[in-house]
Structure 1
Amino acid sequence: MGAVTAAASHAATEPGGPLVDFLTRPSSLWATISTEGLGWLGSHAPILAPCALGAAASGHALRRGLHRWREQRIAEGARCVEVLAPPSVAPRGAEVLWAQLAGLLRPWWRRLITGQPHLSFEFLWTPTGLSLRIWLPGTVPLGMVRRAVEAAWPGAHTRVTQPSPLLPHGHVTSAGRLRLARPDVLPLRTDHASDPLRPLLQAATGMGEDETACVQILARPATGTALRRARRQARRLKAGHTPARPVALAAFLLHRAQPAAASRQDPEHAVLVRQSATKLSGPQWQCALTYAATCGEDGERAEDVARGRAHALASAFGLYADRNYFARTRLRHPEPHLSARRFPSSRPALLSVAELAAIAHLPLDLDAPGLQRAGARSVLPPPPIPEPAPGNGVKPLGMADTGSRRGVGLSVPDARHHLHVMGATGSGKSTLIANLALDDVRNHRGVIVIDPKGDLVTDLLDRLPDTCADRLVLIDPDDTHTPPCLNVLDGTDIDVVVDNITGIFRRIFTAFWGPRTDDVMRAACLTLLKHRDRTQQLVTLADVPRLLGESSYRVRIIPALKDPVLRGFWAWYESMSEPSRAAVVGPVMNKLRAFLLRDFARRAIAAGSSTFDLRQVLDGGILLARLPKGALGEETARLLGSFIVAGAWQAAAARARTPENTRIDATLSIDEAHNFLTLPYPLEDMLAEARGYRLSMLLAHQHLAQLPRDLREGISANARNKIFFNASPEDAHALERHTLPTLAAHDLAHLGPYQAATHLLAGGAEATAFTLTTRSLPPPVPGRAKDLRAAAGARTGPRPATRH
């Protein structure tokens, strides 16, 4: 090395010597320097060679150790996000996802220390179906990825799981990797007429009980080195050099470089230049693709099955061949590589967003085999929806099922616009009704609950506070205590009482109730009520069969009648023969006797005067009517419930005599409401007037076919608060008009257990629809139901009847 320096100094200082030669023939000096330098290196080679090898080995070991430390750090706290596909997948949703996730690229100084995190998009097939997962390290924000998935594919659901091995232990496995066969700058095919995943999904169909398969796509935003390499390839391509980087001898023979001048003149070359420029124009991803198939059987058949399945998976990626294509390499020990999800240190494939989206996306076909579709989307409640708190006048409905899971409630003034609840059995209706009733009890509002099944009232009795015993009225055929009595012929307005009773019987027994039957029932009830007003004697519904069937009873009542119309009716009635009279009163008598022959129904309706006042119930009391159809019969349960609804409506209408600001809010909750809305006037008028009387009605049922047309239209228009649990597809299409545009028919038909689609009023104005989950009931108090039954029975047992 000293000789080289001396030669250079001599060339610079000797006038007219080698400097002149260097200026005129510079190669001569470099030849001298090179000769001297090589001679010096040759003489010191035995010393320098081991040093150079040691330095190279140390650098390689240091690099591998740094790479291993980065991978371990990236894998800490890793999670898997399982993606449930929406009913219809946006065709370009994957491009939106990967373009958004390109923001995970770290600054160069952070990549230098801790590396660049990567993601893993995974297809996993098992005998139970196909699952799609995105594995992400602990350094990647979980919420960001979940929101990106749900934004890219509206309606998709995500749920977080812990990472698990992709391949079962002990199975025969066949696996491989897919690499780009030509340089990265050349594009893959992305303009497919149909879903390019269709061959891949078909390749994994028909799996046995002991077979699995997976495709793993590791992806991370491309860093500067990979981009610079691709840009150099693009510049060489533009200069006329057709790139070729074969990975096999066959590829080497097929892809030979052409002369630059000929390439520049080729029209295909210009197209290739434009395609490569398009590929490099946006964000780039480095990707590593791995596939594997397993079989749990023993013997050669397991190897054949696994190898054939793996070959089918790899062949499905031939659909992406264009200027570039995937070449396969065998992976002998796939399990550690797949489960560890470590990004390979060798140069991965460079893909554009469009290319990566064409490979890693949700299947577009609605009939994708084995794919689990998402249920209803979760929609946050709008800001005007209030949150319940003690004493703030907001009834609790449940909790938001996404985001912060804040409480969701309905203010008492908005509840006066009534609440329509619909959903299949077991979907959560009873839990919602019970929570609302308990809140009303705690806040001393009036509560009436009509339960035709029985479980709802039982759950309430186990959870009511012990301080409400003096307000409770319990109607229960299974209660051993004397039931309270509601005399349906009580009432100051005779015409309203008669209209209610006659209307209830007419609507329940529509097929057997004609104009003559209606006339007989109306005349008998009016006669008894006028007799009561004249003599102040007690009359009940049990007196109607006596009036129609006993001539001696009629002789005591009819002569004192002043009403000429009623006197004319009874004159016609007495003029008929016994057979004709029996034919006229037969429909009334058999319906009344079938009802009154049931001991509980007779004691609850016709045992004497009323033992409780429904007006006091509306003013802060509690009435629980447990009317199981199995114990009472369907028609008897409907009649009892309808009489309670009619009495509650009469009590509410009586509030017209009190100032509005002194009326206490009350709620009439009716499960299986179509059985009990049998009053003789339109439901829409009843709902409109009830709001003024501060009576909120909660109408619950299972499906729309249960409602006659008039009830369906009345509830749809006038019960302005809607809560829909899981509905049938037919009902979902009819109900989506209340929840669009945020929730469509698919969402209503795929709601989960205790999840509901909700459309509420907030401050008197309609808010957008959203989803919620109902709150679970508080734990039952042991012995509470027994104590409350005893207290209610002692307080509301019937008084001795005053007969005549």
Structure 2
Amino acid sequence: MFELWSHAGQLQWLLGIDAQLSGQLPNQLRAQLPNLVLIPQPQPARAKPTLVKDLRITGVSEPLRVDMASSISAGLHQVLKLLKSGESAIVQWAVGPAQQRRTKPETRSLPQLLGFGQPSQPRPDELQHWRRKTAEPLFAVRGRIGARTTHVNRTEAVLHMLAQAESLASASYSELRSSQASRRGAQAMMEPSDRQRWSGIVNAAELAALLGWPFEGMLDSGTTARPAPGQLLVPLDRAPRERGLRLLGQGLHPSDGQQLVALPVETSLHHVHVTGVTGSGKSTQLASFIRADMAAGRSVLLIEPRGDLVNDVLAGVPPSRREDVVVIEPGVGQEVVGINPLAGDLEDAERRADQVLHLFREVFGHSSIGPRSNDVLLHALTALARSPEGTLADLPMLLTNSTFRRRELAEVTDPLVLAPFFAWYDGLSSAERTQVIAPVLNKTRTFLSRSAIRRLLGQATPRFELEELFTKRRIVLVNLNTGRLGAETASLIGALLLTQLWQATLRRVALPPDERHPVMVVVDEVQDYLKLPVDVGDMLAQARALGVSLTAAHQHLGQLTPNLKAAFFANARSRMVFHPSSEDARALAEVLGPGVTAAQLEGLGRFEACCRLVLGGAMTEPFTVRTRPLGPSVSNVAELRAASQQRYGVNGRDLDTVLAARWHSSSSQPDGPIGITRRAT
């Protein structure tokens, strides 16, 4: 028994099998249809129809039009998808045992059988048609269609459209006809008798055309579920014992058996691209990834623009990892955790200066920093990068305060580059110097004049370094709240952090591969911060080899530059697509692979995603999941923040006092260290 059901527009295919065939037929079907999944359903949902029509095939020996199979299926699906809540419909074909017949059956009317007429002469092509029909196994069949809707007229209309779709199989000498709608066949449809009265003979190809099974490319937004790879499935009862397992969610396809779907660390190291509009469930999934990483003892860096994600992660920090937490939040609290992108080895000073200058151009715009401003910035940043106490916060003072400038340059020995430049610079008149540095100061003062950023960037020797992600197992959570910092400033700070991270990543080359523990980097609204002075595609490839995973998230493809989009499509091949915008649906469907349509992606509900992963060096087939809600809080968010500030932060007011003394002191040495001396390790 083959049945195609629709409940409120949701399609379901049911197969009823005689007990004697239950051990053979499923395997035979799977052999012919490799992607077929059969799920035992002891009592499937089958709403009893109110009206039923019988389907009858007139030409017993004549073939039907099997070339119309896709049109029949499309027509049936189109009708069934129109059903509303509380409505249902069914297309049912009862199939008898296969049989072979060499002799063409004779069709005679009752008068002819009684001897009152001569049998009609066969057409010349009739035997040829019969041979073509019997080239495949024959089956006796009985077809019915039924419906249940809110009104009898609507029910009759649904049945009429279903009958029209099935009648597309009619040929010149063999028609598929439907009876008048009645209530009498409803019970027989729900409980077929063993003594079935057949209404036609079809071969295997004709039967396949009548069943309404979907053809390739026909699945739409109403049928989004796709099975997950079996090796990724995790039973529900096993998940609590493996808290460090990254999970994508719960499989939506019936064959997944409501099991969870894992995201292996090896797959994550090929990088993960996550997209979805606001409210689709993207941020919750990012928090889930990070909570799993923390439970597994992995290093984590999160950069995000709102703060809600940081709070969700803090609430899930396991007790054993609380001392690993570093929270960087400019403008929050008096104890400030700082960064110094200019600090480092002397031989790399020029490279650090050039990287910061590149970020200035990316954030502020290439046209806003002309050749002369570029020259001034490069030399000033190089001087500060070579200075033992140099920070970005010193930049305006270096360019405007001659006493401070002389004192800083005394710490820098560079007679070939810096000395000639600053000799020229000091030789300018006050008006000329103002004209030269005005464009630079206009840009840098917009963020350095703000106390939150000055305190973040003004620490020459911060108590925390991003290098600890690689040497230890830190959990670094960066909240760049754009409402508090401004979009431009937040973008710059995030870009500075990722640049520092990239330099630390490259230093991993010196380590043997088996000593490179995974470092998991998660960046929400990645387009705002990923502005490295290297090709992003090359960076992703190198990061993978060096044990650094990037999970890059954003809302829509229009946020990405062409280069960034190409890099993600080529090098972040594991993909998790939540409900996309209509503009993105087609492009994302193409990158997810064959069989995924834009309509399917637009049909994803909240917290549902279509995924495709790199697994064992090859791409999986696309599959769908429903993400899981975050577990309960296990840590006090406020206490973790306070502990991080106490452990890694510097008092903001004390830092202001030290900076003022350093900038405006007339002595050759500053009054004290910039920042707090490094903690003992």
Superposition TM-score tier, normalisation by shorter sequence: 0.7 to 0.9
Distance 2:5 2:233 in 1: 40
Farther-moved stretch of structure 1 (629-638 vs 672-681): 672-681
1:450 and 2:450 aligned:
no
Is contact 2:167–2:176 with CA below 8 Å preserved after alignment?
yes
For the 8 Å contact 1:454–1:626, the answer to whether it is kept is yes
Q: What is aligned with 2:422? A: 570
* Pair 267,383 (structure 1): closer, same or farther in 2 beyond 3 Å: same
Specify the alignment match of 1:706 in structure 2. Answer: 559
Q: CA RMSD in A?
A: 4.9
Partner in structure 2 of residue 374 of structure 1 = 223
Between the aligned partners of 1:738 and 1:381, the Cα distance in structure 2 is 22
**For residues 43-58 of structure 1, what are the structure 2 equivalents within 5 Å?**
none
**Contact kept? 1:155, 1:374, Cα under 8 Å:** no
Alpha-carbon shift at residue 560 of structure 1 (Å):
7.4
Q: Which stretch shifts more, 628-637 or 376-385?
A: 376-385
Residue 12 of structure 1 aligns with which residue? none
The residue that corresponds to 2:382 in the other structure is: 526
Q: Judging changes above 3 Å, is the alpha-carbon distance between structure 1 residues 694 and 527 closer, same or farther for their aligned structure 2 residues?
A: same
Q: How does 1:468-479 map to 2 (within 5 A)?
A: 468-477=321-330, 479=332
Q: Distance in 2 between matches of 1:355 and 1:192?
A: 9
Specify which of 730, 749, 755 is matched with residue 609 of structure 2.
755
Do 2:248 and 2:627's aligned partners in 1 also have CA atoms closer than 8 Å? yes
Q: Aligned AA for 1:779?
A: G
1:789 Cα offset (Å):
1.6
Cα 1:692–1:341 shift into 2, 3 Å? closer
Structure 1 pair 367/519, CA: closer, same or farther in 2 (3 Å)? Answer: same
Pair 349,571 (structure 1): closer, same or farther in 2 beyond 3 Å: same
Q: Does the CA-based 8 Å contact 2:144-2:189 persist in structure 1? A: no
Distance 1:740 1:328 in 2: 41
Asked whether the equivalents of residues 49 and 146 of structure 2 are also in contact (C-alpha less than 8 Å), the reply is: no
**Do the aligned partners of residues 166 and 400 (structure 1) sit closer, same or farther apart at CA in structure 2, a change above 3 Å counting?**
closer
Maintained 8 Å contact 2:249/2:625: yes
Partner of 2:637: 785
Amino acid at match of 1:286: V
Pairs within 5 Å for 1:484-523: 484-492=337-345, 493-510=348-365, 511-523=367-379
1:107-506 to 2 correspondences below 5 Å: 118-122=1-5, 131=11, 133-134=13-14, 136=16, 162-167=44-49, 176-179=53-56, 185-187=60-62, 189-190=64-65, 197=72, 214=89, 216-222=91-97, 237=106, 242-244=107-109, 258-259=117-118, 263=120, 266=121, 268=123, 271-276=125-130, 278-279=132-133, 282-290=137-145, 296=151, 320=170, 322-325=172-175, 329-330=179-180, 332-334=182-184, 336-337=186-187, 340-343=190-193, 347-352=197-202, 353-362=204-213, 373-375=222-224, 377-380=226-229, 402=253, 403=255, 409=262, 412=265, 415-477=268-330, 479-480=332-333, 482-492=335-345, 493-506=348-361
SS of corresponding position for 1:375: coil
Following superposition, the deviation at residue 723 of structure 1 comes to: 4.7
Q: Contact between 1:176 and 1:292, CA under 8 Å: does it hold in 2?
A: no
Verify: 1:614 aligned to 2:466, yes or no.
yes
Radius of gyration: which is bigger?
A: 1
CA distance in 1, matches of 2:435, 2:31: 69
Partners of 1:742 and 1:768 within 8 A in 2: no
User: In the alignment, residue 796 of structure 1 is paired with which amino acid?
Assistant: Y
Q: Does residue 671 of the first structure (1) align with residue 524 of the second (2)?
A: yes
Give, in whole Å, the separation in 2 of the partners of 1:130 and 1:541.
Answer: 60
Determine the structure 2 residue equivalent to 1:582.
Answer: 434
Residue 108 of structure 1 corresponds to none
Note the residue ranges of structure 1 that are not aligned, 5 or more in a row. 1-117, 169-173, 246-251, 297-301
Question: TM-score, length-normalised on structure 1?
Answer: 0.66
Q: Judging changes above 3 Å, is the alpha-carbon distance between structure 1 residues 450 and 267 closer, same or farther for their aligned structure 2 residues?
A: same
Q: What does the per-residue CA deviation read over 1:485-543, in whole Å, with 9 as the maximum and x for residues that have no partner?
A: 1133322232232122212111111242222222121222223344x34xxxx333222
Q: How far, CA to CA, are the matches of 2:599 and 2:77 in structure 1?
A: 26
Task: Tell me the SS of whatever aligns to 1:789.
Answer: helix
In structure 1, what is the Cα distance between the partners aligned to 2:406 and 2:179?
107
CA distance in 1, matches of 2:49, 2:618: 51
CA contact (8 A) 1:388 1:395 kept: no
Secondary structure, in 3 states, of the residue corresponding to 2:392?
A: coil
Task: Assess if the C-alpha contact under 8 Å between 2:350 and 2:385 holds in 1.
Answer: no
Deviations 1:53-98 (A, max 9, x none): xxxxxxxxxxxxxxxxxxxxxxxxxxxxxxxxxxxxxxxxxxxxxx
Residue 166 of structure 1 and its aligned partner are, at CA, apart by 4.5
**For 1:646 and 1:603, how far apart are their aligned partners in 2?**
19
Whole-angstrom distance in 1 between the partners of 2:250 and 2:155: 48
Alpha-carbon deviation of 1:374?
Answer: 2.7
Report the structure, 1 or 2, having the larger helix content: 1
Question: What letter is aligned with 2:317?
Answer: L
User: Hey, what's the Cα distance between the residues in 1 that align with 2:560 and 2:86?
Assistant: 50
- Structure 1's 594 and 155: CA in aligned 2 closer, same or farther, altered over 3 A? farther
Question: Contact 1:724–1:756 at 8 Å: present in 2 too?
Answer: yes
Quick check: 500-509 or 782-791, which moved more? 782-791
604-613 vs 197-206, which deviates more? Answer: 197-206
More deviation in 402-411 or 473-482?
Answer: 402-411
- 2:398 counterpart of 1:554: no
For residues 590-632 of structure 1, give each alpha carbon's deviation from its aligned partner in whole angstroms, at most 9, with x where no partner exists: 2222112333222222256312122223321111101122232
Q: Contact (CA 8 Å) 2:4, 2:12: kept in 1 or not?
A: yes
- 1:798 shift after superposition: 0.7
Match of 2:393 in 1: 542
Distance of 1:520 and 1:790 partners within structure 2 = 40
Task: Write the letter of the residue equivalent to 2:484.
Answer: A
Contact 2:373/2:437, CA 8 A, preserved across alignment: yes
Q: Which has the higher contact order (CA 8 A, sep 6+)?
A: 2
- Contact 1:420/1:715, CA 8 A, preserved across alignment: yes
User: 1:189, 1:321 within 8 Å by CA — same for their partners in 2?
Assistant: yes
Q: 1:542 is paired with a residue of what secondary structure?
A: helix
Measured after TM superposition, the shift of residue 463 of structure 1 is: 0.6
> Which string of whole-angstrom CA distances, capped at 9 and with x for unpartnered residues, describes residues 396-442 of structure 1?
55566554566655665665554444444455543443344333323
| Gap regions ≥5 residues in structure 2 | 663-669, 671-681
| Larger CA deviation: 718-727 vs 660-669 | 718-727
Give the letter for the 1:177 counterpart. Answer: D
Aligned to 2:450: 598
**In 1, are the aligned partners of 2:68 and 2:209 still within 8 Å (CA)?**
no
Q: Provide, for residues 194-239 of structure 1, a one-character-per-residue CA deviation record: whole Å limited to 9, x for no partner.
A: 866499769969999899785643413248xxx79xx69x5663xx
CA distance in 1, matches of 2:86, 2:584: 40
Distance verdict in 2 for CA 1:359–1:601, change over 3 Å: same
Secondary structure of the residue aligned to 1:711 is helix
Task: Check whether the contact 2:269–2:548 (CA below 8 A) recurs between aligned residues.
Answer: yes
**Residues 142 and 200 of structure 2 are in contact (CA less than 8 Å); yes or no, is this contact kept in structure 1?**
yes
Contact kept? 2:525, 2:554, Cα under 8 Å: yes
Q: Tell me the number of residue pairs that the alignment of Structure 1 and Structure 2 aligns.
A: 640
How far did residue 781 of structure 1 move?
Answer: 1.8
